[in-house]
Amino acid sequence: MKKGFFFTAFVILGTAAQAQWLNYRAAGTPTTKDGKVNLAAPAPRMADGKPDLTGVWHINNSPQTELTPSVVPGEQVRLAGQPGGPGYSGNILRDVKGGNIETPLATKVRTARLADGTRPDPTLFCLPWGIPVNNLVVEVVKFVQAPKEIVAIYEVDNSYRQIYLDGRPLPQDPNPSWLGYSTGHWDGDTLVVETEGFNDRTWLDMSGHSHGEKLHLTERYHRVDYGHMDVEMTFNDPEFYTKPFSIKFRHALAADSDILEAYCNENNKDLDHIKGAHEIPAH
């Protein structure tokens, strides 16, 4: 990768509007005395008493900053695209202590990706962004909760996840998929989601950090009040990392709003300008 080159793949859709039902106030929304949505009101609950995570959520941004250097000597990755974007999208390992935790395989894959620029990034081919990037960009994610299942719908590529709450185990020897297979259970008021069965084609961040098909992802979602939800993701992939690592961030409710229809290929003008663009990207 040439000095000064910055990844832009993860912000292709960043200028899109975030809602198609803008300013529609859903029935039952708590409000303050001045008529605004009361984001500090208690979190809503389902009929069985469990927190209701239903809503349209987006990353709760902090001021835009330059990221620390990536683990590739001499290279830096700028926080791409959006003011206030989250640092994890630039470097998923930015908070890991104790030195490099990549295995030789992980380092080999990431170095090859950086040497080839953005060409192997599946998002340039309008393929799914994957986890955790779907949760770390400005586009929203919508949770629809039922007693035995939660569906997560991502605006960024109109993909979706099904998180089963009916007690089923994770599948044995699943067909690898972009977003894996997910089951969930409640730990008090926190939803714990376990996911396996990923393919190895998504990037964990713009620095090219990767994962293999043995990745086990554990997510914890805690809706602290009406307008805020704390999220923790723990990545356990012994093929690519010498120990599990976690990231923590907060989602904010996009009140009086909804998810927008968005299809990457509808406005994709990059393919003819990318070397090898008509090849299917892989490791």
Integer Cα distance of 134 and 46 in angstroms? 26
Is 239 inside a domain boundary?
A: yes
Two structure tokens written together for 119 = 């060409």
Two structure tokens written together for 254 = 């996009």
Is 114 inside a domain boundary?
A: yes
Query: Span 116-135, mean pLDDT?
Result: 83
Number of domains comprising the chain: 1
Is 273 inside a domain boundary?
A: no
CB 58 within 8 A of CB 141: yes
Is 247 inside a domain boundary?
A: yes
Look over the chain and give the mean of its residue pLDDT values, rounded to a whole number. Answer: 82
Confidence of residue 203 (pLDDT cuts 50, 70, 90): very high
Is 122 inside a domain boundary?
A: yes
Q: Each residue of 86-115: pLDDT tens digit?
A: 489 889 999 999 889 999 999 999 999 888
Confidence of residue 116 (pLDDT cuts 50, 70, 90): confident
Query: Span 81-86, mean pLDDT?
Result: 37
By mean pLDDT, which of 7-11, 143-147, 219-223 is the weakest? 7-11
Segments forming the whole domain that contains residue 100: 18-24+39-60+87-264
Is 218 inside a domain boundary?
A: yes
pLDDT at position 283: 54
Residue 15, C-beta contacts closer than 8 angstroms, at least 6 positions apart: none
CA torsion through residues 185, 186, 191, 194, sign: negative
Is 98 inside a domain boundary?
A: yes
Integer Cα distance of 22 and 49 in angstroms? 30
Q: Is the pLDDT assigned to residue 141 strictly greater than 90? A: yes
Q: Is the pLDDT assigned to residue 77 strictly greater than 80? A: no
- CB atoms < 10 A from the CB of 72, how many? 16
Is 227 inside a domain boundary?
A: yes
Q: Each residue of 8-67: pLDDT tens digit?
A: 444 444 434 444 567 788 888 999 999 999 999 999 999 999 999 999 999 886 443 333
DSSP string of 52-109, one letter each residue: ---EEEEE------PPPP-SSTT------SSTT--GGGT-TTTT--SS--B-HHHHHH
pLDDT at position 63: 40
